[in-house]
Amino acid sequence: MSNSKLAQLDRRVVRATFARAAASYDAAAVLQREIADRLMERLEYIRITPARILDLGCGTGYVTHLLAKRYRHAQLLGLDLALAMAHAARRRNTPRWPFALGQQLGRCRFVIADAELLPLADHSMDLIVSSLTLQWCDPDRVFRECRRVLKPGGLFLFTTFGPDTLKELRTAWRAVDNRVHVHDFIDMHDLGDALVRARFADPVMDVEHLTLTYPEVNNLLRELKAIGAHNAAAARA
């Protein structure tokens, strides 16, 4: 499966909109932080001592920071498509007092690259964590790349949005016209099939439902723009 709806995203638009949102992202990313925190809680139940960790789609570096605190002796690499996001992540993860936090200094590096074509050597990572990046990519390509760069016995942990995401906004737009206004999201079962195709061993998937409410639609639209979640469909008007 190469999901046709997601394959039609304009990668240049994705990069540009997230670059513009780097300064406003943290103030608006309440849901994104909640999901990242829940993802990190899963690591409480997994016995792993990774030496090298990839934060795939690091954004402003929130997850990178949590990983650095949890795995204090690991080398971390944050990767993002947008240059401004990677700069923000580097600022977040650079200690202000290097002598007091000397053991963390220099452990985090950041690179600008596409999750669908990782500039990393085969079997070079022990752990890959990706929070809310997959919906902007072709999952088959990302999974193949993650499988390639993971060491044998390594772990890939990710979150993404399901097909019910923004369904109210999608339904409202359909009352106006049939153009593409809202992103489509892949079903969990299709993602599980893609993991199997990429030859991941024992994939485990689960769903959590989170509901956010807004007093009016403009509040939602402003939040989406603040985090860079614009309509990036190639077929957009």
Q: How many CA atoms lie within 13 A of 220 on its CB side?
A: 14
**pLDDT at residue 37 tops 50:** yes
Do 76 and 68 touch, CB atoms closer than 8 A? yes
| CATH code for the domain defined by 4-226 | 3.40.50.150
Which two structure tokens, joined as six digits, stand for 212? 């956010």
Token pair recorded at residue 192: 């599980």
Nearest Cα neighbor of 231 from 13, 12, 2, 45 is 13
* Percent of all residues in the chain with a pLDDT value above 90, rounded to a whole number: 85
Cα distance from N-terminal residue to C-terminal residue, the chain: 26
pLDDT at 236: 82
pLDDT band per the 50, 70, 90 thresholds, residue 184: confident
Tokens at residue 235, please? Answer: 């077929």
Q: Token pair of 50, please?
A: 């990774």
Residue 43 clears pLDDT 70, i.e. is over it: yes
Q: 3-class SS at 159?
A: strand
Q: 91, 123 in Cβ contact below 8 A?
A: no
Condensed to tens digits (0 to 9), the pLDDT of residues 117-169 reads 999 999 999 999 999 999 999 999 999 999 999 999 999 999 999 999 999 99
Instruction: Note the pLDDT of residue 106.
Output: 63
Query: What is the pLDDT averaged over residues 10-28?
Result: 96
Q: What is the pLDDT of residue 95?
A: 77
CB atoms within 10 A of CB 235: 11
Taking residue 155's Cβ as centre, other Cβ atoms within 10 Å add up to: 16
For the chain, how big is the Rg over CA atoms in Å? Answer: 18
Q: How many CB atoms lie within 10 A of CB 111?
A: 14
Q: How far from 122 is each of 93, 149, 181, 186, 193, CA to CA, in Å?
A: 26, 4, 38, 27, 23
Q: Which of 80-89, 102-111, 126-135, 184-193 has the lowest mean pLDDT?
A: 102-111
Please indicate whether residue 234 or residue 222 has the higher confidence score (pLDDT): 222
- Coil, helix or strand for 142? helix
Q: For residue 47, with 0-12 CB atoms within 10 Å meaning exposed, 13-18 middle and 19 or more buried, which class applies?
A: exposed
The structural domains of the chain, with segments of one domain joined by +, span: 4-226
Query: Which residues have CB under 8 Å from 187's CB, separation 6+?
Result: 162, 163
